[in-house]
Amino acid sequence: MPATSTSRSASVFKPRAMQHKREAFWFYRFLSIIYDQSTNLGPWTEDMRDAAVEELDLNDPNMVVVDVGGGTGFTTMGVVNHVDAKNVTILDQSPHQLAKAKQKEPLKDCTIIEGDAEDLPFPTDYADRYISCGCIEYWPEPQRGVNEAFRVIKKGGKACIVGPVYPTHWLSQIFADMWMLFPKEEEYIEWFQKAGFVDVKLRRLNPKWYRGVRRHGLIMGCCVTGIKPTTGSSPLVLGPKIEDVKKGVNPILFLWRCFLGFIGVHCYSLIPIYMWIKDQIVPEDRPI
Ligand SMILES: C[S@@+](CC[C@H](N)C(=O)[O-])C[C@H]1O[C@@H](n2cnc3c(N)ncnc32)[C@H](O)[C@@H]1O
């Protein structure tokens, strides 16, 4: 797996504007209204989702699967093509996103619950498979979320996390840093290995029209998988959570982060359009 992300000095925006649970909650309060009509038609397509689900090896319809940060159930729709919906749980911190999932006929037998990806309400060694698509970018402590993925799956089970990749273009780096977590490919691998996963693999994902793959980064840019070799919790023991949603937040800080997030999301919404236009114009044998 070649590592292509450029190294860069620490961003002044860290943790990024939307890399906070309360800010992400409010972001999805509004985005949930148009999520299925926007995100899933542009930067996170059915082809990409099916490629990620394929990596999960859903080879038995009786498998117990948890979809963490499952939102409106777009990824879960790919999962229930392979396993019985009654064995699938969709978890998300946004009731507004989950309300959309509840309306989908193929998901009517799934269990749909509110919860935090960094503190999952499942017993240890519970599921055969864990999937989380497009959620890690909001986690204040990604290592904690990956450790939870490790804890809740059974020995021999598989976890799959889909998330953004850090851009190599300087301008996109600024907007990415302003907005949310865009990990480097090697960071994903490191989090999985530190959590205790073995056979860790990374597969790049991108829409068909996105040829300049890493240059501007993608919100759903790679899919990382790992196998749990033992029972129990991750051998990597972490201290207390750095962010508790139940605690209050400074309103000025909250508004500042929302403002930064607002700029970031707008710039990142323009990138797919820009790349799509370039794909139409630049001859196929030339990189873009
Ligand atoms: C980009 S959406 C992805 C939804 C879905 N997985 C899909 O494939 O379309 C990200 C989701 O992560 C959820 N989320 C963000 N932070 C979370 C957290 N700490 N715990 C649980 N869900 C979270 C958001 O509410 C949102 O529904």
pLDDT digits (tens, 9 = 90+) for 164-197: 999 888 888 888 888 888 999 999 999 999 999 9
Residue indicated by tokens 């996170």: 44
Q: What is the pLDDT of residue 30?
A: 85
Question: Which is higher by pLDDT, 241 or 42?
Answer: 241
Q: Does residue 9 lie within any of the structural domains?
A: no
For residue 144, give both structure tokens.
Answer: 């904690």
Q: How many CA atoms lie within 13 A of 258 on its CB side?
A: 15
Is residue 227 in some structural domain? yes
Mean pLDDT value across residues 52-58: 97
Write the single-letter amino acid at 3.
A
What is residue 206's predicted lDDT score, i.e. its pLDDT?
86
User: Per residue in 217-266, pLDDT tens?
Assistant: 888 889 999 999 999 999 999 988 887 777 777 888 888 888 888 887 77
Instruction: Report CA(286)–ligand 1 centroid distance (Å).
Output: 35
- Does the residue 170 lie in any domain? yes
End-to-end CA distance of the chain: 21
* Listed residue (154, 136, 153, 137) closest to 145, CA to CA: 136
pLDDT at 110 over 80: yes
What sign does the dihedral 164-165-169-170 (CA atoms) show?
Answer: positive
What pLDDT was estimated at residue 154?
A: 98
In a domain, 122, yes or no: yes
Give the pLDDT band (50/70/90) at residue 203: very high
Return d(Cα 82, Cα 65) in angstroms, integer.
11
- pLDDT band (50, 70, 90) for residue 146: very high
- Nearest by Cα to 201 from 214, 219, 189: 189
What pLDDT sits at residue 213? 62
CB distance 138 to 18 below 8 Å: yes
Is 113 domain-assigned?
yes
Comparison of pLDDT for 2 and 175, the residue scoring more: 175
What pLDDT does residue 267 have?
79
Specify if 19 maps to a domain.
no
In a domain, 2, yes or no: no
Q: How far is the CA of 112 from the centre of ligand 1 (A)?
A: 13
Q: Is the residue at 14 inside a domain?
A: no
Tell how far the Cα of 264 is from the centroid of ligand 1, in angstroms: 18
Q: How many domains does the chain have?
A: 1
89 C-alpha to center of ligand 1: Å?
A: 14
Distance of CA 17 to the CA centre of its chain: 16
Q: What's residue 6's pLDDT?
A: 39
pLDDT-derived band at 208 (thresholds 50, 70, 90) equals: confident
Enumerate residues lining ligand 1, CB below 6 A: 21, 24, 28, 69-71, 74-75, 92-94, 97, 116-118, 133-135, 138-139
Ligand 1: atom nearest CA of 49 is: 8
Q: Whose CA is nearest to atom 13 of ligand 1?
A: 69
Q: Give the residue-averaged pLDDT of 94-122.
A: 97
Residue type, 11: S
pLDDT at 164: 92
- Atom 2 (ligand 1) nearest CA: 134
Q: How far apart are CA 215 and CA 234, in angstroms?
A: 34
Pairing type for strands 127-133 and 88-92 reads unpaired
What CATH number corresponds to the domain at position 125? Answer: 3.40.50.150
Domain containing 167: what range?
28-233+243-281
For residue 49, pLDDT beyond 80: yes
How many angstroms separate the alpha carbon of residue 5 from the centre of ligand 1?
Answer: 24
Q: Is the pLDDT of residue 12 over 80?
A: no
Q: What is the mean pLDDT of residues 46-75?
A: 97
Average pLDDT over the chain, rounded to whole? Answer: 88
